[in-house]
Amino acid sequence: MIHGISDHEWMAYLDGELEAKERERLESHFIGCAICWEFFDRLARTTARLDAAGKATRHSVPLRDDELQRSMGEVLARIRGKTGTPGRLQPTDVRERLDCLERVMAPMCGTTTATRALRAAAQGSPAQSLEYVTADNWTPFLSSLTSIAAVMCGETGAHLVWESGQL
């Protein structure tokens, strides 16, 4: 948190999803705060570079829809083989599912980045910490992680994260 601006507010502002009143509050703060303006500028430039890199990567390795669907099906089948059969998320399964999501994301963005993405998603969810992710707050956590994965790995990677978390 920087000057009372949460990570969630920063991301919502960058994504254009912040309510008008909150957006105006942040923008008026940016005008008088060089630290926050520079931080915003760095985040915006980094986000733009990640978006551009993601688009370039997606275009450099084009897959037909049927190839993509088949590949995702194979990955999900392998994951199901490691984590059991799909069903209702039990509280004892949360740690196993977090590990599964880390295994899914690691090849796309590296183990350290995958771990950080999980932590950031937890912070941006009602759990507010990875240790407090439970079956009851799983869906908002997974939604937050999927949004992060979309920026880092593109829509296909985000879809894979979402589907993997639904097991």
What confidence category does residue 91 fall into, taking pLDDT thresholds of 50, 70 and 90? very low
Over residues 53-86, the pLDDT tens digits come to 877 776 666 666 677 667 777 766 666 565 444 4
Would you say 88 and 123 are in contact if contact means Cβ atoms under 8 Å apart?
Answer: no
- Residue given tokens 């869906």 in the structure block: 139
pLDDT over threshold 70, residue 44:
yes
Would you say 163 and 145 are in contact if contact means Cβ atoms under 8 Å apart?
Answer: no
Largest separation between any pair of C-alpha atoms in the chain: 54
For residue 61, what pLDDT is reported? 65
pTM metric for this prediction: 0.50
| Percent of the chain that is helix, strand, coil (3-state, to 5) | 80, 0, 20
The rounded radius of gyration (Å) of the Cα atoms in the chain is 18
Over residues 101-146, the pLDDT tens digits come to 998 888 888 889 999 999 999 999 999 999 999 989 999 999 999 9
For residue 85, what pLDDT is reported? 47
